[in-house]
Structure 1
Amino acid sequence: MVELIPIRLQKTWEIWNVRGVILFSLSLQIVLFLGAPMRKRTGNKLSIMIIWGSYFLADWTASFTIGLITNSRNSSKIIERSDHLLAFWAPFLLLHLGGPDTITAFALEDNELWLRHFFTLIVQVVASFYVFLETLPSNKLWLPTSLIFLAGVIKYTERTRSLYRASWGTFRETMLTEPDPGPEYAKLMEAFSSKKVAGLPTTMSQTVDDDIKAWKSAFYSIQPSDQNKVLDEFEVVKYGYHFFKIFKGLVVDLISHKDRNESRVFFHERTPEDALEVLEVELNFIYEVLYTKFVVMHDLKGYLLRFLSLVSVLVSLGIFFFLDCKHGLDKFDIRVTYTLLLGALSLEAIALFKLMIFSDWTTAFLGKRNTNPTVRAIFKKYLKIRRPRWSPPKGKLSAGTESRITSVLLRRWSESVAGFNLITYCLKDLPKKSNECCLGISKTTTHLLHSIRRYCRKVVVDRLGAKDFLDELKYASKNSFTKELWKLIFRELLRKSKEADKPENIKMISSARGAYVLGELMDDPLMVTADYETVYETLKKDYIENVTYDESLLLWHIATELCYGREDSDPETVAQKVAKYRRLSKLLSDYMLYLLVMKSAMMSAVAGIGQIRYRDTCAEAKRFFRYKELEPNKVNDACENLLAVNTDVKPVHVKGDKSKSVLFDACMLAKELQKLEEKKWKVISKVWVEMLSYASNHCRPDAHVQQVSRGGQLINLVWLLMAHFGLIEQFVYTAGVGPAKLIVKK
Structure 2
Amino acid sequence: MESFVKVFNEFEIQLLVLLSFTLQLFLFFAGNLRRSSSNRLLRLSLWAAYLGADLAAVYALGYLSRHQQTQQLVFFWAPFLLIHLGGQDTITAFALEDNNLWLRHLLNLVTQVTLALYVFWKSIGRHNNTELLISGTFAFVAGMIKYGERTWSLKFGSITSLESSAAHRYRKEPPQGTASDVAPFVGDALESMPSVLDAFSKRTLREPLRGFVNTIDDCDQMIRMVRLQLGMMYDDLYTKAPVLRTRTGVILRCISEASVIVAFALFHVSEKQRYSKADIAITYSLFVGCFFLDVCSMFIPMMSPWTWAWLKAHKCHALARLSLFVFYCDIGYPKMKLRWPNSVGQYNFHSWRLSTDSDLQPRTCTQHIMILLRKLFVDLFRVEQKKLFWLSKILDTEFTDVDIMILEGVAEELTDLLSSELDNAKEWTHMAALLSWLQGHFVLDFGMGIIRMHYVTETYLRKYASDSDMKANAGLMEVCRKLSEYMMYLLVTHPSILPLSISAEAALDGFRTLEQADMYSAGLDPSKETLEELARMWTRLLLYAAGKSHPGMHAALLSGGGELITFAWLLMVHYGVGNSGIIEIQLTNKDLAQQVNLGRFYAFCVPPEQQSDPFFGKQRARNPVTGG
**TM tier, smaller:** 0.7 to 0.9
Which sections of structure 1, spanning at least 5 residues, go unmatched? 178-229, 391-405, 435-446, 501-515, 618-660, 736-746
Distance in 2 (alpha carbons) for counterparts of 1:231 and 1:489: 27
Q: In the TM superposition, what is the alpha-carbon distance from 1:533 to its structure 2 partner?
A: 9.8
**Equivalent residue in structure 1 for 2:118, among 130, 134, 144:** 130
Encode CA deviations 1:582-632: one digit per residue, 9 max, x unaligned. 3322221111111111333433x4363332121343xxxxxxxxxxxxxxx
* Residue aligning to 1:645: none
Quote the offset at 1:378 in angstroms: 3.9
Aligned match for 2:404, one of 466, 483, 489: 483
Report the equivalent of 2:464.
567
- 1:535 maps to which residue? 433
1:455-502: CA deviation from partner (whole Å, max 9, x where unpaired): 679879998x8x63x5355433333322222222111101222348xx
- The answer as to whether partners of 1:422 and 1:558 remain within 8 angstroms in 2 is yes
Per the alignment, residue 508 of structure 2 pairs with 614
Q: What is the distance in 2 between the residues matched to 1:432 and 1:126?
A: 67
* Equivalent residue number for residue 571 of structure 2: 721
Amino acid at match of 2:12: N
Matching residue within 312, 324, 329 for 1:385: 329
**1 CA distance for matches of 2:382 and 2:212?**
52
Structure 1 contact 234–380 (Cα < 8 Å) conserved: no
**1:568 Cα deviation after fit:** 4.0
Could you tell me the TM-score, scaled by structure 1's length?
A: 0.68
- Judge conservation of contact 2:464–2:470 (CA < 8 Å) in 1: no
Q: Against the structure 1 CA distance between its residues 370 and 175, is the aligned structure 2 distance closer, same or farther, given a 3 Å change threshold?
A: closer
**Counterpart position of 1:167:** 158
Identity of aligned residues (%): 26
Give the distance between the partners of 1:703 and 1:305, measured in 2 at CA: 33
Q: CA–CA distance in 1 between the matches of 2:373 and 2:559? A: 42
**CA RMSD of the aligned region, Å?**
3.5
Spell out the pairing of 1:72-221 with structure 2 (5 A cutoff). 72-73=67-68, 78=69, 80-82=70-72, 85-137=73-125, 138-140=127-129, 141-174=132-165
Q: Does 1:582 align with 2:570?
A: no
Distance 2:300 2:154 in 1: 21
Deviates most, 138-147 or 662-671: 662-671
Q: Which residue of 2 aligns with 1:197?
A: none
Following the alignment from structure 2 to structure 1, what is the Cα–Cα distance between the partners of residues 111 and 523?
Answer: 68
Q: 1:123 to 1:37 in 2, by over 3 A?
A: same
Q: Is the 8 A contact 2:497 2:553 kept in 1?
A: yes
Which residue number in structure 2 is paired with residue 598 of structure 1?
A: 493
Structure 2 spans left out of the alignment, 5+ residues: 169-178, 362-370, 584-596, 599-628
- 2:195, 2:209 within 8 Å by CA — same for their partners in 1? no
1:262 maps to which residue? 210
Alignment pair present for 1:246 and 2:195:
yes
- Superposed CA deviations along residues 253-301 of structure 1, whole A, max 9, x for unmatched, are 11454x63535523423x2222111111100111111111110111221
Q: CA deviation at 1:557?
A: 0.7
Output the CA distance in 1 between the equivalents of 2:166 and 2:382. Answer: 48
User: d(CA) in 1 for partners of 2:559 and 2:305?
Assistant: 17
Asked if 2 retains the 8 angstrom alpha-carbon contact of 1:42 and 1:413, the reply is no
1:584/1:449 Cα in 2 relative to 1: closer, same or farther (>3 Å)? closer
Which of 657, 661, 668 lines up with 2:519 in the alignment? 668
Report the CA distance between 1:543 and its aligned residue: 5.0
Residues 1:139 and 1:284: Cα distance change in structure 2 (over 3 Å): farther
Shift of 1:448: 12
Aligned match of 1:632: none
- Provide the C-alpha distance between the structure 2 equivalents of 1:474 and 1:429, rounded to a whole number of angstroms: 17
Report the equivalent of 2:418. Answer: 497
Does the Cα contact within 8 Å between 2:347 and 2:489 map onto a contact in 1? Answer: yes
CA distances 1:191-223 after superposition (whole Å, capped 9, x unpaired): xxxxxxxxxxxxxxxxxxxxxxxxxxxxxxxxx
Measured in 1, the distance between the counterparts of 2:253 and 2:83 equals 12
SS of 1:479's partner is strand
Alignment-derived partner of residue 316 in structure 1: 263
Q: Is the contact made by 1:144 and 1:320 (CA closer than 8 Å) also made in structure 2?
A: yes
1:87, 1:145 within 8 Å by CA — same for their partners in 2?
no
TM-score by length of 2: 0.80
The answer to whether the 8 Å contact 1:92/1:148 transfers is: yes
Q: Does the CA-based 8 Å contact 2:227-2:341 persist in structure 1?
A: no
Match of 2:300 in 1: 354
1 CA distance for matches of 2:202 and 2:516?
A: 37
- Distance, in Å, in 2 between the alignment partners of 1:449 and 1:261 is 51
Local SS of the residue matching 2:461: helix
The 3-state SS of whatever aligns with 2:164 is helix
Secondary structure in 2 matching 1:81: coil
Partner of 2:308: 363
2:445 aligns with one of 538, 548, 558? 548
Alignment pair present for 1:303 and 2:243: no
